[in-house]
Structure 1
């Protein structure tokens, strides 16, 4: 049963502490994954200002964010400048690639992309994406051919802004099948590999205990589905690293075969069906996000 692990690395601590642990676990399990790195300043703590919004406050309380992420992540970039992730920790990004995993861009500034994508001009979107892409390519010393929008903040404007960079694929939205997004000029854009499974923080809370997460997730793998699971270096790579080890073992026993996202593409992407990538919403996630339609 094919599936994929998409590993989002949002923060300085997630890169420094979570990535090495995940690399060791994946080696232990003989699994290859796709890592998407944030490479600029870690300003994730600035999301705390969103606590004035009841839906975001409820999510933070529901997921017990302080114990889940740690206060250094929750306060990053608030009272002091955000630490430069790529400059300080680029060697871990190179190591990830050297150990056989697929590496793509998550964002230059994860917080800024998630907070301002909806209001930035098309030109600004391209500048922000290009800044991150070129930084990651400099770090790796190699071309980067895939990306995943921070927080799944993507819409037709983001699709268009990214199109100019000629990447192999993007993973910018939630959905159920590979597709090529329709462009405003009538053409079809770069293939999208959507995420079709929930994340830990979207589900765990009063309705589901953290200890029951693995059993819950394993029941969602289906033979004819994409089975793309997004985990975070800050969660499964730190606080729940042993749970992730158990998940990999149980998935193998269940017949799940993990492939990189790039390996899910057909030899000729032009055969993929057309679709739309629009703004939508999802239970457990605050604000809008890109969805397949």
Structure 2
């Protein structure tokens, strides 16, 4: 396949949809780059994420970046002291404008905090209900069913994995790993290609091991200097790269193009693969450096 980096944009919040998404569309068009936007489609309950402070390592992570600066104080109160805005209802026009501008769109989740904080331990009925809410809202907004999914916080369970296949998605991007694969979960084959995030995210690297905003782009480009045979998937966030970290993202776009990469959507990336020849790999929940808790990770 061509030397590619697929840009996967997670849109977690009302502010990220309203402010970050249009900015990202503009900069991507300026660099003639493609990408896939995965939308949160229901309420922004980000204020309820305050309970994460009790998780080991969470305060250490947020101390490396200003959460208030990136998300805004109102976002951090949604669902608690302030009512949760319904992103899909309030921002449907913005979402359709992304599709109309020629970018691929997909499902991130219905309620980001609810999925990320609870899906791991939930049963089949809960998981089906949450995913169906996202599918129904997506279909309402775009007048067609979704074909792609990217799990909030890389959080999944066995039932969610089965639903990727049953929902007829072309692919799903719910995990961290090194290359595309057909997932298995405790030896059960899931017939839906998994396109894992292969590179770290900016918030996982910032203010660690001497990495600052001044040198993070340079450091990142050393990670992509040698292209693997199946390219890379890079996950960015509308609230970060579409906000205060936009200058860093532009440096990455310039650097990747100078390295000879084609910047593509996830669907374009999938089309460059021989789907029938993808290897099988077990998915398991593991810790990832720079993240809090366990994520879905590609195994051997």
**Band the TM-score falls in, shorter-chain normalisation:** over 0.9
Number of equivalenced pairs: 293
CA, structure 1 residues 73+216, in 2 after alignment: closer, same or farther (shift >3 Å)? farther
Q: CA 1:212 to 1:84, structure 2 compared with 1: closer, same or farther past 3 Å?
A: same
Does residue 228 (structure 1) correspond to residue 244 (structure 2)? The answer is no
Q: TM-score, normalised by structure 2?
A: 0.93
Cα deviation code 1:113-167 (max 9, x no counterpart): 0110122111211110111012012101122100100000024332113322111
| Residue 285 of structure 1: aligned partner | 291
Question: Which residue is equivalent to 2:49?
Answer: 47
Measured on the aligned residues, the alpha-carbon RMSD in Å equals: 1.7
The whole-number CA distance in structure 2 between the counterparts of 1:228 and 1:180 is 16
Matches within 5 A, 1:83-232: 83-182=85-184, 186-207=188-209, 208-221=211-224, 222-224=226-228, 225-232=230-237
Q: Of residues 259, 278, 282 in structure 2, which corresponds to 1:276?
A: 282
Shift of 1:273: 1.3
The answer to whether the aligner puts 1:250 opposite 2:272 as a matched pair is no
* Contact 1:275-1:292 at 8 Å conserved across structures: yes
Q: Give the Cα–Cα distance (whole angstroms) in 2 for the partners of residues 74 and 216 of structure 1.
A: 30
Between 176-185 and 84-93, the greater mean CA deviation after superposition: 176-185
SS at match of 1:223: coil
The 1-side partners of 2:208 and 2:188 are apart by 46
In structure 2, distance between residues paired with 1:73 and 1:211: 27
Please give the per-residue CA displacement for 1:236-283, whole angstroms capped at 9, x wherever unaligned: 101122222232122212212111111222565222111111111101
* Corresponding position of 2:66: 64
Deviation at 1:197, TM superposition (A): 0.4
| Contact residue 129 and residue 162 of structure 1 kept, 8 A | no
Evaluate the alpha carbon distance shift between residue 232 and residue 186 of structure 1 in structure 2; reply closer, same or farther with a 3 A threshold: closer
What are the ranges of 5 or more consecutive residues in structure 2 without an aligned counterpart?
none
Q: Which runs of 5+ in 1 are unaligned?
A: none
Show the counterpart of 1:33. 35
Moved over 3 A (4+): 183-188
- C-alpha deviation, 1:54, in angstroms: 4.1
Q: Secondary structure at the match of 2:68?
A: helix
Partner of 1:238: 243
CA distance in 1, matches of 2:117, 2:190: 27
Deviation of the 1:210 alpha carbon: 1.7
